[in-house]
Amino acid sequence: MRKGFFAPFFVILICSLQISLSAQEMTLVRPDVIRVNVMNDTIFRYMVNTNQIYECGLDTLPQMKFWRKIMRMSPDTGLVSLAMDRRIFCSMTSVAWDNLGEAGQENFRDSLRKKNLLNDSAQVLFTKGKNDFYDPKAVIPQIDRAIPIFVQQGVDPFYAQAILLIESPGKTEKSGAGANGAFQLMKSVAIQMGLKVNKTVDERKDFDKSAWAASRLLQTVCIPYAKSMLDKRGLCYNENDLWFRLLVMHVYHAGAGNVEKALVVINPTEGGIELIKTLWHTTAGQFGRSSQTYSQVAVAALLELDEVYGRTDEIRKTCLTPQLFENTTPH
């Protein structure tokens, strides 16, 4: 995108952005957008239906159980787990882990490998709790505010919900890499999408403008690249399927080039949730551990959101038989 040509037009659109869709119109445009309320709260808010997570059986996987525990634990405690599938071995205080020192930590890992009959090369990790960062309840008002913006721009609001839950939940802090705002946009990307970012102004801090720019990024870059990568491999997909959405999330986080490198390594013959699970174990280029776990964290955060809303048991009753979605829908 040529910044000088398109940016002024985008800025005009952003400045005139008004959320005018009614709840009824929202449902007609996006049937998966529902109105829910937090227990003991009379305010109904927008949320994207997450039933596919349970229908695919992802809520039962050890990876999701691991990340949900991490999201609830304080940083002074952590979990020792197997990197391959995030199987939890034990919990330990962060101080106790640090006091072991490098040699003691490696001895502890060796003892776990022998006890669990693991290969000597099996990676055993210690991960501190992150309840100081993840806060699904705090981000609910932002999700409610962002969903109409995404829908009005013709972008799947699932991405608004998932990104807000894991990128800067309830916060608008600037990352060490320079990303800023609720959607954690890098400066160059924000400018390319039409935001003003200079020494005196940073429109990434404006929630509505940041949401609009993120929706444009998904609409013009992330989703088209995900579709292109699948099209050239002859893989069928439905843009509303969970696995396709998670692939787009990987593009949003790691960049299309790194996801493409990972797909080259995998050489998939079909799409589906199994492709996403394979990405969890694939390393290629800059597609490393944080990239592998990105969609795991997204799903775990969505499950935590269901828990906050008190919807978990209700959803599971309607999704008793985990099944993979068919990937034969024409596109």
Between residues 311 and 286, the one the model is more confident about:
286
Q: What pLDDT is stored for residue 13 in this prediction?
A: 45
Q: Give the mean pLDDT of 57-66.
A: 96
Of 35-44, 77-86, 140-149, give the lowest mean pLDDT range: 35-44
Looking at the structure, tell me whether residues 107 and 138 fall in a common domain. no
Separation CA 137–CA 305 (nearest Å): 7
Separation CA 330–CA 323 (nearest Å): 20
- The CATH number that applies at residue 143 is 1.10.530.10
- Tell me the pLDDT tens digit for each residue of 186-227: 999 999 999 999 999 999 999 999 999 999 999 999 999 999
Of 33-47, 160-174, 215-229, give the lowest mean pLDDT range: 33-47
Looking at the structure, tell me whether residues 153 and 298 fall in a common domain. yes
Q: In what order do the strands lie in the sheet with 88-93?
A: 88-93, 77-82, 124-128
How many of the other CB atoms lie within 10 Å of CB of 165? 25
Of 42-46, 134-138, 291-295, give the lowest mean pLDDT range: 42-46
Helix (H) or strand (E) holding 47: strand 44-48
Looking at the structure, tell me whether residues 254 and 300 fall in a common domain. yes
Q: Give the mean pLDDT of 77-91.
A: 97
What percent of the chain is predicted at pLDDT more than 70? 87
Looking at the structure, tell me whether residues 177 and 31 fall in a common domain. yes
Q: What is the mean pLDDT of the chain?
A: 88
9 contact partners, CB below 8 Å, separation of at least 6: 194
Separation CA 2–CA 108 (nearest Å): 54
> Quick check: is 327 in a domain?
no
* Burial status of residue 326 (CB atoms within 10 A of its CB: 0-12, 13-18, 19 or more): exposed
Looking at the structure, tell me whether residues 195 and 244 fall in a common domain. yes
Q: Which of 128, 153, 171 is the last residue of a domain?
A: 128
Looking at the structure, tell me whether residues 89 and 212 fall in a common domain. no
Separation CA 97–CA 106 (nearest Å): 11
Q: What pLDDT is stored for residue 28 in this prediction?
A: 65
DSSP letter string over 217-248? HIIIIIHHHHHHHHHTTT----TTSHHHHHHH
Give per-residue burial for 33-52: e unless 16+ CB within 10 Å, then b.
Answer: bbebeeeeeeeebbbbebeb
Give per-residue burial for 185-215: e unless 16+ CB within 10 Å, then b.
Answer: beeebbbbbbbbbeeeebbbebbebbbbbbb
Of 139-148, 231-240, 306-315, give the lowest mean pLDDT range: 306-315
Of 13-22, 177-186, 286-295, give the lowest mean pLDDT range: 13-22
Of 15-24, 33-42, 235-244, give the lowest mean pLDDT range: 15-24
Looking at the structure, tell me whether residues 153 and 239 fall in a common domain. yes
Q: Would the pLDDT of 146 be above 50?
A: yes
Q: Would the pLDDT of 309 be above 70?
A: yes
Looking at the structure, tell me whether residues 143 and 177 fall in a common domain. yes
Q: Give the mean pLDDT of 275-293.
A: 96
Separation CA 101–CA 81 (nearest Å): 18
Between residues 66 and 315, the one the model is more confident about:
66
Domain range for 23 is: 3-60+133-316
Looking at the structure, tell me whether residues 184 and 202 fall in a common domain. yes
Here the tokens at position 243 are: 């696995």
Which of 187, 61, 168, 71 lies closest to 128, judged by CA? 71
Separation CA 69–CA 75 (nearest Å): 12
Q: Would the pLDDT of 313 be above 70?
A: yes
Query: Using 50, 70 and 90 to split pLDDT, how confident is the model at 33?
Result: very high
Q: What pLDDT is stored for residue 205 in this prediction?
A: 93
Looking at the structure, tell me whether residues 215 and 282 fall in a common domain. yes
Report residue 314 CA to chain centroid gap.
Answer: 23
Separation CA 142–CA 147 (nearest Å): 9
**H helix runs in 56-200, sequence order:** 62-72, 94-115, 136-152, 158-166, 187-192
Q: What pLDDT is stored for residue 21 in this prediction?
A: 64
Give per-residue burial for 126-157: e unless 16+ CB within 10 Å, then b.
Answer: bbbbbeeebbbeebbebbbbbbbbbbbbebbb
> Quick check: is 257 in a domain?
yes
- What's the domain count of the chain? 2
Separation CA 295–CA 291 (nearest Å): 8
